[in-house]
Amino acid sequence: AAQGDGGLPKLAVKSKYRVCFNQSEMNSTWRKAQTKSMQDEAKRLGWTLIFTNANGSVEQQIADVRSCIAQRVDAIFLPPREEKPLTPVVLEAKRAGIPLFVIDRTVDEEAVKAGRDYVTFIGSDFYAEGRRAAEWLVKTTGGKAKVIELLGSPGSTPAIDRANGFHDYIKKYPGIQVIAAQTAQFTREEGFNVMKRLIRSYPTATAVYAHNDEMALGAITAAREAGFTPGTDITFVSIDGQRSALEAIILGKLGATVECSPNFGPKAFQTLKDYAAGKKIPARIINDDRFFDLSNALKSLSSAF
Ligand code: GYE
């Protein structure tokens, strides 16, 4: 849709904009890289970026978006921490006439629609990420594994879709069994804590599927401390493709990781410019992501975040 269609707010062509970026938290390499990408691009363009950090609280993130609406910014870039709680503020921005771009994670797409209530969703295909992780695991293990799944933050798009993509794919492979699944909140610390407990209860596990690299890296440490050899007795696969994960691949601890790019700045702001220029914006703008394993980890190090 283009501006004005379906009641989408109007945005004038200007050389400089004042925009909000309401970050959900800053507790991982991925979040920091995403923030840096937004800040660097705003700086390059000479735009004013109002940055907020909700520290993992959806209530705070809601308050941060409302404060941006009250400040009458030109546009809002929102990476919603969880789908349902952040849905109402999307409508509040629309009513206030402020174009909102949902980036990285999404909101409740039953209740609000891209191209009608907000401009578009920009991000990765999390379902495909889960499928790609499963495909690799099936190939590497010959279709036989007892898997511990470390889930992301409950209610967040990547946790929901990465689980679905993985589980749908392994349905055809009865030798791949998920024997335990628990959230580790997308953090390294919880990845360590949760794995430490689970590996005691499920010592026959032969694989770990973590919804992000941070949790996988924490779990690798926990497995090693529990007397396992990551990469030998337990195969690890995860998502994000951060540099420390590629290093773990090179060292043989992590098997593979599906890239999920945090570099939103250039694409996000270009989309705003296209919208202001009256161009038709697709409802979903999906990032092209790579896949890393031992065959390309070393040569990809310098281009990873
Ligand atoms: O994979 C994870 C972060 O929303 C796509 O959030 C993002 C995810 C990313 O906590 O590491």
What mean pLDDT value characterizes the chain?
98
* Residue pLDDT, tens place only, 151-195: 999 999 999 999 999 999 999 999 999 999 999 999 999 999 999
- φ and ψ of 181, to 5 deg: -140, 130
Q: Does residue 20 sit in the same domain as residue 106?
A: yes
In a domain, 297, yes or no: no
> Quick one: residue 251, left, alpha or beta (phi over 0 = left, psi -120 to 50 = alpha)?
alpha
pLDDT score for 88: 98
Residue 9, domain extent:
5-122+264-285
* Residue pLDDT, tens place only, 98-126: 999 999 999 999 999 999 999 999 999 99
Q: Does residue 168 sit in the same domain as residue 224?
A: yes
Amino acid at 223: A
In a domain, 296, yes or no: no
In a domain, 304, yes or no: no
Q: Does residue 117 sit in the same domain as residue 221?
A: no
140-145: average pLDDT = 98
pLDDT score for 136: 98
Q: Does residue 28 sit in the same domain as residue 104?
A: yes
pTM assigned to the model? 0.95
Quote the ligand 1 centre to 196 CA distance (angstroms).
22
Contact between residue 102 and residue 122 where contact means Cβ atoms under 8 Å apart: yes
User: Cα(179)–Cα(192) distance, rounded to whole angstroms?
Assistant: 18
Nearest protein CA to atom 8 of ligand 1, as residue = 158
**Residue with the two structure tokens 């520290």:** 55
Residue 205's pLDDT band (cuts 50, 70, 90): very high
Quote the ligand 1 centre to 4 CA distance (angstroms).
32
How many structural domains does the chain have? 2
* Residue pLDDT, tens place only, 13-64: 999 999 999 999 999 999 999 999 999 999 999 999 999 999 999 999 999 9
User: Long-range contacts of range 119-122, CB-CB < 8 Å, 24 or more positions apart?
Assistant: 119/1, 119/8, 119/271, 119/275, 119/281, 120/271, 120/281, 120/282, 120/283, 120/284, 120/285, 121/283, 121/284, 121/285, 122/264, 122/267, 122/268, 122/271, 122/284, 122/285, 122/287
Residue 156 alpha carbon, nearest atom of ligand 1: 4
Q: Does residue 131 sit in the same domain as residue 163?
A: yes
Contact between residue 20 and residue 66 where contact means Cβ atoms under 8 Å apart: no
Q: Does residue 228 sit in the same domain as residue 272?
A: no
Ligand 1 pocket (Cβ < 6 Å) reads 28, 30, 104-105, 158, 186, 212, 214, 239-240, 260
CATH of the domain at 97: 3.40.50.2300
User: 10 Å Cβ neighbour count for 34?
Assistant: 25
Q: Does residue 157 sit in the same domain as residue 248?
A: yes
Q: In what order do the strands lie in the sheet with 291-292?
A: 176-183, 145-151, 207-210, 235-240, 256-259, 291-292
Nearest protein CA to atom 2 of ligand 1, as residue = 212
**Residue with the two structure tokens 């050389």:** 15
pLDDT score for 248: 98
User: Cα(235)–Cα(256) distance, rounded to whole angstroms?
Assistant: 9
Q: Does residue 145 sit in the same domain as residue 200?
A: yes
Q: Does residue 88 sit in the same domain as residue 153?
A: no
- How remote is the C-alpha of 212 from its chain's centroid? 8
pLDDT score for 61: 98
ipTM of the complex: 0.96
Q: Does residue 173 sit in the same domain as residue 255?
A: yes
User: Cα(42)–Cα(29) distance, rounded to whole angstroms?
Assistant: 20
In a domain, 301, yes or no: no
In a domain, 79, yes or no: yes
Q: Does residue 268 sit in the same domain as residue 242?
A: no
Structure tokens of 208? Answer: 């770990």
Residue 157 alpha carbon, nearest atom of ligand 1: 4
In a domain, 30, yes or no: yes
Amino acid at 137: L
Quote the ligand 1 centre to 115 CA distance (angstroms).
24
In a domain, 242, yes or no: yes
Q: Does residue 43 sit in the same domain as residue 167?
A: no
Residue 222's pLDDT band (cuts 50, 70, 90): very high
In a domain, 299, yes or no: no
Quote the ligand 1 centre to 257 CA distance (angstroms).
13
